[in-house]
Homo-oligomer: A and B are copies of this chain.
Amino acid sequence: MGTKYSIGLDLGTNSVRALIVDAATGEEIAESVWDYVRGEGGVVLDPRDPHLARQDPADWVQGVEACVRQALQEAASHDGFSPQDVIGMGVDTTGSTPLPVDRAGEPLAFHDEFRGNPNALAWLWKDHTGHAEAEEITEAASRRRPHYLAKCGGKYSSEWLWSKALHCLRVAPELFDAAHTWVEMADWIPALLTGTTHADALKRCVCAAGHKAMFNPAWGGYPDEEFVGSLDDRLAGLRRTLPDRAYSIADTAGTLTPEWAQKLGLPAGIPVAMGAIDAHLGGVGSGIGPGMLVKTIGTSTCDMMVWPLDEDLPDIPGLCGIVPESILPGYYGLEAGQSAVGDIYNWFVNTMRPGGAVEGSHEALTEQAAQLRPGQSGLLGLDWHNGNRTVLADQRLTGVLVGMTLHTTPAEIYRSLIESTAFGARVIMGRFEEYGLTVGRVVNCGGISVKNPLVMQVHADIVGRTMEVTRSAQACALGAAMAGAVVAGSAAGGYDNFDQAIDAMTGVLERKYVPDPDSAKVYERLYGLYKRLHDIYGAKDRTDNLYDLMKEVQTIRDEARG
């Protein structure tokens, strides 16, 4: 048998990417990116409502085709490659990014009557229009179904399916009624490629269902109809369209239809794995396993661990989700995360624009920030510019910056923003360990982990652990391709399970970021102060006085300046 290949499709916030990998080694032989053309960089916004963020599924359809063709064209120059040697495909997408569809699985956005209606589009993961509904769901669940909340961090998020559907029902009832059901993007794309979008055929992945829609086999699947109906009668109608079963990435969504095979230039009939949320497949592409924390650091972070299904696992307060087989078959998937990381750096560069475009670029600010010693900025901040996902699970929290003087520079603020996100990361690791999940290794993936050594070193110094970086620059797409190889099976040149695929196809870069003991000492003191800010703004009943806090930050600054 000659070399076989698998394709990973990664549908992000701003673009879609196709990655063609050697199924035996994980080597990436071709890659292409197609930027969405609708909205602002693929995101439809509303200037009157900062909570709104939508996406047009037409971008996905157009992007998948353009992108795969482009990747195949690139791969053609690779010695011995032929599209006929592609044995499977996998898909990862953003999430929770649900969209209302009709019975055939056609997005309402494609119906003439709803064209231009933002409520008919996909409700992007970072859409927070349903924050009031999220509180309502949390409140209802805490009274009637507390066990639902125990698996999703004690709070149901405005980013998730039920909040979005309930909000839609309230603000656009006619549109809600016109929908047969709501589908996660991660389910809809594989269904599209395999001709299984119809309500009777559509499969739902446990990843999005479990982490975003309170699906759990422990209580028989999605939240029960009585509970959902107590929020709104019509929501119970949506509940009735949802199946009792969900699938892991070891399952196929179906096989590539002749129509899509022709569009893409691939063999019809190859298996397409169940889709999953990007970060989770990034965990797989980073080689996740017990004792390893995988951090996807991008605009936000997803912090993942797994835990054997046959071992006891307590509920862990503040985690966004604990779901059987949501990341890796055979393991509980545990997901935590920070609502904004790269987005905070981007906000500073793109919206604040200190000094204008050249002086205020990421490169220029990073270079200057790297010259600063830990503590030298005299600044301490809370990284809550997009709320706090873990451990506070509170979207109504906001960013804080303490310590500004008349001498504070943009580079100092930039560095303090980086530090604040690393403090946020440390809070999450602390929570895992408090509940017995020892963090033996930390493997990072996502753009920032390869592009910004300063961010990585600050993380190492602040969390006090070596930061490793996954070998693939496209870990999510690689994970998707690995799923394609697993559903293809060993007989076709793939694998029979993920243990094998991980061993063969993943690894880390040689360059590791080791904590510097002197820096770690300074950051230890600052972390104590960060934690006090964190608690006084974020915890309901934690009273404190911050009289000494500003002074302590200044003392650390003065010592850092030497």
Contact = CB atoms under 8 A, between A and B. Distances in A.
Interface of A: 48, 50, 340, 343-344, 346-347, 351-357, 359-360, 378, 385-386, 396-410, 413, 536-547, 549-551, 553-554, 561
Contact of A406 (B347, B353, B554): B347
B550 A545 contact: no
A388 to B, nearest CB: 10
Contacts of A353: 354-356, 359-360, 410
Contact of A408 (B351, B539, B544): B351
B410 A405 contact: no
Given A410-B352, A540-B547, A405 B378 contact: no
A171 to B, nearest CB: 15
A405 to B, nearest CB: 5
A410 B409 CA distance: 15
B402 A400 contact: yes
A406 B386 contact: yes
A537 B546 contact: yes
Contact of A356 (B355, B401, B402, B543): B355
Contacts of A344: 406
Contact of A399 (B347, B385, B404): B404
23 contacts: A50-B405, A50-B407, A344-B406, A352-B354, A352-B413, A353-B356, A353-B360, A353-B410, A355-B356, A356-B356, A356-B357, A385-B406, A386-B405, A396-B550, A396-B554, A398-B402, A398-B550, A399-B401, A399-B405, A401-B401, A401-B404, A536-B546, A544-B544
Contacts of A546: 536-537
Given A353-B360, A398-B553, 9 more contacts: A398-B402, A399-B402, A399-B403, A400-B403, A400-B404, A536-B544, A536-B547, A540-B545, A541-B547
Contacts of A378: 398
Given A386-B406, A404-B385, A406-B344, A541 B537 contact: no
Cβ-closest 8 pairs across A and B: A356-B356, A399-B404, A50-B407, A543-B543, A353-B355, A543-B545, A398-B403, A347-B406
